[in-house]
Every structure is written in structure tokens, then in C-alpha cells.
Amino acid sequence: MTTDRTTTPATGPDETRFALSCDGITKAFQGVRAVNGATFDVPEGLVTALIGPNGAGKTTVVNILSGSMTCDSGTEHIGGTDVTNWPSYRIARLGLMRTFQLSRELGGLTVLENLLVAAPDQAGESMVNVFFRPSAVRRQERENVARALDILETYGLFHLRDNRASDLSGGQKKLLEISRAVMASPKVLLLDEPMAGVNPALIERIGGYILDLKAAGVTVLMIEHNLSVVERICDHVIVLAEGQTLATGKLSDLRENEEVVQAYLGEVIDASTHG
């Protein structure tokens, strides 16, 4: 059984604070290692991209970091707390939220209700409060509704607040997932391909929302294949290949890294440079 172990917040040699760190993470499926010793740090308060070829282990790493999956070996820290193999609900209580590559909306609920279930620390979850502090429960519920409506307005979903989530388009479901994560007041937000399958105009909007989250102090780690988006909004890049960390840095510097170019970027970088 994993026990809580809190240390001082993680920092690097230049006193960079790391919101999230993993060291030597491995995960095998039927003897095949999808993640093979991944080690990296996510700087606090920045937008970091996790890139790499298909099959590099990116989503598996995010599943492990968010508690959706356990690792076979290695460690994970959120700030200064060792959260290795914690379940997702405990990790969420530390402020780490995530979205999924394929949206996982609560289809039978309305758009507004999808946000309300994500509100943290709800007094109405306690039967004691329901019976003995009903006014406090009602007050918090009103506050949560007001906040949810404000978030839906920000993300362009206010007019759909009473629609069933299952009736949304693919792009709207992407926005709903991000909105629901924001409703949970994240400190660290993991986004699994937030731009995948959406039109260019929505890509621009989502990029702007991510920068707004950064400005609000949220640390973002996002899996992304669109390198023009990575270059435009990401401060830091982590490259995975064959389940290992190949390189880290700014995308402009990684363009000059021969290993990175051969493993992943290659013609994609040339196209983005000359096209």
C-alpha cells in the first residue's frame, strides 16, 4: 500500500519549480514495454507538449500520471508529493485533472450537469450537511451553478447548457471536457490531443483557452501532434520515442537534434519550416 510522502517542492538546478515529475516510469502489456524508463519534469506554470511518434507511449504515460493506470516501476511526484500508483481520485484531490483523446462526456446529463458533477468539495455529498446544514448546501449549489454557467460562457457552450452532452458535436465535446476540468479548479491539467479532429478555427480557440489557463497559473501538459500549435503555445517540449524520453527543450532547439529528427520530426519539421 502506497503511503503519503511529502517533501519540499521539486526544483531543478536553476531553481525551476516542477509541478509534475516522473522518474524511470515503466509499463508493460503482455511482456511488451509501452513505457520503458520515461523520465522528465513538467515546469510549473508553463505549457509543456508531450510529442513523439505513434506508439511512443504518450497516452500510457498520461494514464499513469493521472492515476488511470499503475506503473510497473518508477516514481511520480506532484510538486513535492510522491504519488506513485495513487488512484485517480487521490491524485485529483491534489489538483491534477485530465481530458481524454476520445471524449468521455456524461452523455445522459446536460452540458451544465456535466460541469456541476466536477465541482470539488461539495457539501451536499454529506448526509449530515443535507439534514443539518441545508441552507449551506443550497448556497453552495447556487454558487456552483453560477460558476459553471460562467465557464460555459467563456468556452462558448452557454447556449447549449440544457442540451444532453451526447448530442454535442465532436468539437463541442472537446470544449466540454476542458470546461469540466476547469470546473474542478485544476493546478495541473493533462490534455490528451485536445486539437485532434477539430477544425482550424476551433484549434485557434482551444490554443487561446490553454494560454488563458497558463495566465491563470495552471500548469498544462498536452499530447499534441500539430507542431505549429506546439511551437506557438508551448514553452517546453518533451519528446518520447519507444517509451523513453529522447530529448526535452524548446521545439526550435529540438529541430537541431539529429536523434529527434530521425525518430520523429523529419519531414514534419521541414514542412512546417518551408510550408
Query: Is residue 41 assigned to a domain?
Result: yes
Q: Are residues 62 and 26 in the same domain?
A: yes
d(CA 101, CA 195): 9
**Nearest by Cα to 188 from 92, 120, 269:** 92
Q: 137-175: per-residue pLDDT in tens?
A: 577 688 888 999 999 999 999 999 999 999 999 999 999
Q: Are residues 98 and 17 in the same domain?
A: yes
pLDDT for res 272: 47
Q: 18-69: per-residue pLDDT in tens?
A: 899 999 999 999 888 899 999 999 999 999 999 988 888 999 999 999 999 9
- Domain extent for 266: 5-105+187-274
Q: Are residues 200 and 93 in the same domain?
A: yes
Percentage of the chain beyond pLDDT 70 is 83
Query: Is residue 35 assigned to a domain?
Result: yes
Predicted confidence band at 9 (pLDDT cuts at 50, 70, 90)?
very low
d(CA 32, CA 219): 31
Query: Is residue 180 assigned to a domain?
Result: no
Q: 183-209: per-residue pLDDT in tens?
A: 999 999 999 999 888 899 999 999 999
Q: Which residues contact residue 244 at a Cβ distance below 8 angstroms, ignoring those fewer than 6 apart? A: 36, 37, 38
Query: Is residue 175 assigned to a domain?
Result: no
266: CATH: 3.40.50.300
Q: Are residues 156 and 239 in the same domain?
A: no
d(CA 119, CA 169): 24
Q: Which residues contact residue 192 at a Cβ distance below 8 angstroms, ignoring those fewer than 6 apart? A: 59, 62, 98, 99, 100, 101, 222, 223
Domain count, the chain: 2
Query: Is residue 39 assigned to a domain?
Result: yes
Q: Are residues 78 and 16 in the same domain?
A: yes
In degrees and rounded to multiples of 5, residue 223 shows phi and psi of -80, 130
d(CA 113, CA 163): 10
Q: Are residues 193 and 97 in the same domain?
A: yes
Which cell is 59 given? 497516452
Q: 177 - beta bridge partners?
A: none
Q: Are residues 53 and 25 in the same domain?
A: yes
Q: Are residues 97 and 195 in the same domain?
A: yes
Complete edge-to-edge strand list for the sheet that includes strand 188-192: 96-98, 188-192, 219-223, 47-51, 236-241, 244-249
Contact 17, 72 (CB under 8 A): no
Q: Are residues 112 and 195 in the same domain?
A: no
Query: Is residue 174 assigned to a domain?
Result: no
d(CA 62, CA 59): 5
Q: Are residues 88 and 222 in the same domain?
A: yes
Q: Are residues 75 and 111 in the same domain?
A: no
Q: Are residues 191 and 262 in the same domain?
A: yes
Distances (CA, A) of 178 to 155, 162, 186, 252, 258: 9, 18, 11, 28, 35
